[in-house]
Structures are given as C-alpha cells and as structure tokens.
Structure 1
Amino acid sequence: MTDETTAGIGPQDTGAVPVAELWRGGICESLHAGHAVVVDGSGQIVEAWGNPQAVIYPRSSCKMIQALPLVESGAADAAGLTPAQLALSCASHNGAAIHSDAVTHWLSDLGLGEADLRCGPQEPSDIPARDALIRAGETPCQIHNNCSGKHSGFLTLNRHLNAGAEYTEVDHPVQVAVRAAFEEVTGEAVRGWGVDGCSAPNFATSLQGLARAMAAFAVAREGRGLRDSAQARLVQAMMAHPEMVAGETRACTELMRAMEGRAAVKTGAEAVFVAILPEKGLGIVLKVLDGGTRASEAAITQLLVKYGALEAGHPMAKKWGNPEIRSRRGIHAGELRIAPGFGA
C-alpha cells in the first residue's frame, strides 16, 4: 500500500444536504445526508445537490468503467463474450445459480477455474443458493462472490495481455489499463485509491468526474470509434440483461426492468449509485454519507423519475423511492421519504 491510497481524500460532509428521511409515528426518526450531481454529454453540471466536488470511492458503481479495457482491447470479442457476459462483467450479483453457473462456464471456456480468481469467497445473498450450499454441506467459494463476473472480465483481459496471475495488483497491466480508462472518462487524475471488497483497486474521483464518465456512456453510440462503441455495448448489455447485473429483489435489476431500456443503473457499496440515461444524454451520481443503501436507492429512484426515465406511478417507483416500513407482524410503522428539496 502506498501513500496514494489516501492522497487527496477530504471530508465528504462539506456541503452535504438532506437526501432521505425515515418517518415513524409522525416523527422523523433518521436522516440521511449526501451529495448528487447530474452531468450532460459535454461534462457540464445540469443540476447538483450538495457538493459535486466531494471525492468518493465509486466502489462497484464504476464496474462499467473497469470493463472498458476488456472490450476496447479486443479481448471480449476474441473470447466470444455475449451481451449477457458483458452485463455480468459490470455486475454486483446475488450469487444465484444464474450467476454462478455463468461464471463457472465463462472460466471453463478460458481454460481457467475458481482458483484463478482473486476476489475471495462470499456467501451468496440469493437465499435459494445459500440454502442449497447449506443442505449440501458445502462452503461458498469465489464464484459466489458478487464481483466474480468483473473478475472473470479481468481474467479474460489478462489472458489477452498474457500477463501475470496477480491481476488485482495496482501495477499489474490489467489495473494499469483500468486506471487509464478511469482517468480518461472521468476527465480527472485519480485522487487516490483503496482496496475494494473484492481485493481490486478502487480509484477515487469527484462526484462530478464520475458523473462525467456516466454521461460519456450515455451519449456513446456504436460505430463512432473504439471508446464510444465499447461504452455503448456495455450500456446496452446492462439494460438488456438486468438480471445479470444484480438479481431478483435487487434495486438495479428491478429499476432497469421497469425503465425498459431508458436507463442503466448501478449501485456501489457505501451508498453510491449511478445512472446512465442514453435518451437524455445524462449521467447521474449520488453518494449518501452514512453508507445507507436504503437512502441511495430512494434517491436514485427520485432522480430517475425527475429526469423522465421512470414513470412516477410505476410500482417500482413506489417500492424503491418511498418504501413503507412495516412491523414484523405486517403493521404499517412508517416510511422512507425523500428529504424536502432533494430532487425537486
């Protein structure tokens, strides 16, 4: 680890605004604060709440950027990757059978196996998959890791580059390529880096920089150069295969299904959320300071409705944007609300 892991990281709370509130019995019980920014295809801010210059780790919200070298290098086409596999390369999946089977087959096609991954084992968040492991007396492996699709993409690129096995090291050719793509699409030098939950480097940037990257994905079209084509293919893959990007009961999957090709969305750990709106040519990024995923899910839903990607009356707009809180007996107890002024 180098000093670069903390270089340029400042307090994120400077200029933060209320994003979401938890109401119970007529009292605001909890408050989530954060930042959000909307950027157009020219990289300019359309609208912002809080501080768009706050520096954050994108965590898994930037997986489509991490997948750019996979496509741009020709590695994806050389390996014959399908759109579903490209979506999986951008995924934080549930570890359901649909995901673990796909990763297993992907690795097999590369002549590789679970031991070649460097993401670490993780218990599936998919309940049937978890229960099946328990009944079989088996333990979770790296294939169940929510990032195993991204790592399969790394391994595909790594084979193409004929580089060493430790592809998660920050100076490895795979991560050097990822960093270069990251800096190019954000329009910013990396502001530091840290080790993500899957052991890969995660590069820090401002909210505006990350939104600038998402807007670049939004305006990209196939046939307009290597970078545009790669970005467009990844976005289309995510929208065509939302079940691969997250899984059943997850916000990313359910929101993308509801939007029917109008937007791609991706969550990241510690309450980061991004959206790519091709029809509007916009990129959206938000960060909730306390890491509360319930607030980031509500906030991104609010912004998707505001910018016309999601119908306000759609059941998924209610489910994720204004979820009801019930007791364990099913009695109405409260609700999560968007804070006044946010996304208005």
Structure 2
Amino acid sequence: MKSVTLVEETRAGLVENVHTGMITGVNEQLETVYHAGDMAHYTYYRSASKPIQALPVFLTDIIAKYGLTNEEAALFTASHRGESYHIAVLESMLAKLPVREHELYCPASYPLNNEPKEEMLRENKEKRRLYHNCAGKHIGFITVCREMGFPVEGYWEVDHPLQQQILNILSELSEVPKADIHIGMDGCGVPVFAIPLKNMALTYLKLACPDVIKDADLRKAVTQMTSIMNEHPRIIASENFICTTLLEDPNIVAKGGAQGVYCFGLKKERIGFALKVLTGSEDVWPVVVASILEQINYENNETIARLRALKPSIVKNDAGIMVGEIKEKFMLI
C-alpha cells in the first residue's frame, strides 16, 4: 500500500498532524486520469455506499405508490445529522410507509450534530432508532423487503435477498466481480463492502453520468436518485457539512463515509473520484476535495470557495489569534 501526505497541520511552524492517504480519479473507460498514492488499495465504502444501497428503492415504484415527496426520498441516501427538519421528514415517512420504528435494525442513538443532541439531553429525551444517521437507509431496506416479498427478519444479513441485490448492483456499477468484493459489517449492522479505490471512483462516475450504465432500469433509477440528492442537499447531511456543500452544485454527486473515505462524481467533466484519508479524519475532507478541484481547474469557483470556508487554511485559537496553518501537500499526477 503506497500512500502520500495529503494534509499537514502546523502550529507555530511545527508539524502537529499529518494526514496520509490516496486519491484516484477515473473516466468512463476506467482509465485513471488523476491519482496520488495506491489506486488499487481495497477500501470500505462505509456510508459512501448509501446511494448504492438506496437503489433498490428507486428500482421500484415505492416513491409514487406511497406518495413520498422528493425531500422524503432523499433520506434513503442520507447520513442525516438529526436536525429538526430531518426528524420531521423521517416522522412523515414513517406515517406513509409500511414500517415501524422498532423494526429498524440500526441502534437507538442521539443525533450526530451537537446542537440537536444537546437539546435532547437537556429535555431528557431518550435515544431513538430514528435519530441514528442510517435511519433513512433502514426504512428503505424494510420498505423494499415488504414490496418485493422478502422477509423483514434478517434484512441486515449478507445472505438476505436484499443484501444480495445490493451486492449485484455494486458489482455492476464498480465492474468488480462479486467474488472479489470484500464484505464486512458496518456501524449500523448491515454489510459494508470494500473494493479497489479505482473501482470505487468508477461507481461515482456512473452515478454522475448514468448514461454509461448499460442496464436501462438501473440507469433510470440512478438518474432519479441523484436528481433528488441535488434537489435536497441539506437532507443528505446538514448545513456546513461537505456533502451538502458539494450537492448544492448541480454538477456534482457526492457522499462520504466513516473513517476518511469520500467519493464524488463530476457530470460535465465525466470523472469520478474516490479518496481515503488513512488517519480516518473527516475534518480534512474539504481541504482535500477543494485542492482536487483546483488542480483539475474546476470551473465553479463558488463551490471551491464554499469548501474552503468549511475548513479555512488558517488555524486560530479560542481568542481568534492565528496559531497555525492547514496545508494540502499532494499533487495529482
């Protein structure tokens, strides 16, 4: 495994933190057009797989059948952060769909964002499965099971028909044979998949440019899903978070996962990118992605500026005094 230094954090000129990793950018011919580090490194998608895991919903007529709004449908792909608007939409979904909260396999949790979490703690509210960031995904899983006649019990097991369908979809989008896809268990208890970083980038190229997908039904499902993600970016994460910031750009399809993995596809440029920060840091995603976009001369400078605002290069202390810097150190080749 060959990695490169992606980001250095310094304080008073002394290196305090170093974030290493790898980046790959591919085109629709699976040709590597940009890279830094090992493009063959097997990487778990973590929550970057949520758009792929949501596709079984979009391959059915569930959204129309149950009268879901696009805002509600966006939650099937989301890592929601527990803001009031997330909870309101989740509650609305549960009122429409043949799902009950206790059926969700994801554990009871507090919201990811500090403000709603602290508010719930002050009000002595208990954890709920609905507050887990994967709740929308699990609601989608159960709904598909009922729609397709699959058993709900064990929907989280790798040999369940739903998880096998997802595995087939991933194999088609990534062009990795099922036998070569490494399978583990994600934080919410469902299967999580690892493939070479290069193929991970290919999946996001296909999400951004679904016209290259051979299967017509899958192509239509991806088109609908990614349009909804761009239409409701704050549902996918929340304000001041990189996924929402990138999805506000209609040219980008993006989703991150735990332990430093991030994926995005560029529609006009027809390139998919995948990156892995080996420290597992999510904090440096905006720095790395902004630098990638700058290095490829991305046209939308507003998107780059919004990313830079999420993680400024100047480090300030609690009194607002500059004490250090955050610098990207990689060059794409």
Normalised by the length of structure 1, the TM-score is: 0.89
Residue type of the alignment partner of 1:334: G
The percentage of counterpart residues that share the same residue type is 27
Distance 2:170 2:212 in 1: 20
Task: State the partner residue of 1:35.
Answer: 22
Task: State the partner residue of 2:295.
Answer: 306
1:342 aligns with 2:327: no
8 Å CA contact 1:302, 1:321 repeated in 2: no
SS in structure 1 opposite 2:306? helix
Change (3 A) 1:240 1:310: same
Deviation at 1:75, TM superposition (A): 3.5
Distance 1:19 1:312 in 2: 23
1:272 aligns with 2:261: yes
SS in structure 1 opposite 2:283? helix
Q: Which sections of structure 2, spanning at least 5 residues, go unmatched?
A: none
Where do 1:56-71 residues align within 5 Å?
Answer: 56-71=43-58
Distance 2:8 2:193 in 1: 30
Q: Which sections of structure 1, spanning at least 5 residues, go unmatched?
A: 1-13
Task: Please give the per-residue CA displacement for 1:231-279, whole angstroms capped at 9, x wherever unaligned.
Answer: 111211111111000012212112333x3x1212211000000112111
Task: State the partner residue of 1:219.
Answer: 209
**Is the deviation greater in 292-301 or in 193-202?**
292-301
1:184 aligns with 2:175: no
Task: State the partner residue of 2:190.
Answer: 200
Task: Please give the per-residue CA displacement for 1:105-155, whole angstroms capped at 9, x wherever unaligned.
Answer: 212211322101111112112334223322332112110001111111112
Distance 1:94 1:338 in 2: 27
Deviation at 1:319, TM superposition (A): 2.0
1:249 aligns with 2:236: no
Counterpart of 1:169 (choices 157, 166, 182) is: 157
Change (3 A) 1:314 1:215: closer
8 Å CA contact 1:155, 1:167 repeated in 2: yes
Task: State the partner residue of 2:317.
Answer: 327
Distance 1:67 1:111 in 2: 17
Report the aligned-residue RMSD: 2.1
Task: State the partner residue of 2:83.
Answer: 96
Task: Please give the per-residue CA displacement for 1:53-92, whole angstroms capped at 9, x wherever unaligned.
Answer: 0001010012111111211234344333332233211111
Change (3 A) 1:80 1:208: farther
8 Å CA contact 1:193, 1:202 repeated in 2: yes
8 Å CA contact 2:34, 2:332 repeated in 1: no
Number of aligned pairs? 328
1:84 aligns with 2:74: no
8 Å CA contact 2:286, 2:307 repeated in 1: no
Distance 2:212 2:7 in 1: 37
8 Å CA contact 1:277, 1:309 repeated in 2: no
8 Å CA contact 1:301, 1:320 repeated in 2: no
Task: Please give the per-residue CA displacement for 1:209-249, whole angstroms capped at 9, x wherever unaligned.
Answer: 11111111121159982111111112111111110000122
Task: State the partner residue of 1:287.
Answer: 276
Task: State the partner residue of 1:5.
Answer: none
SS in structure 2 opposite 1:202? strand
Runs of 4+ aligned structure 1 residues displaced above 6 Å come to none
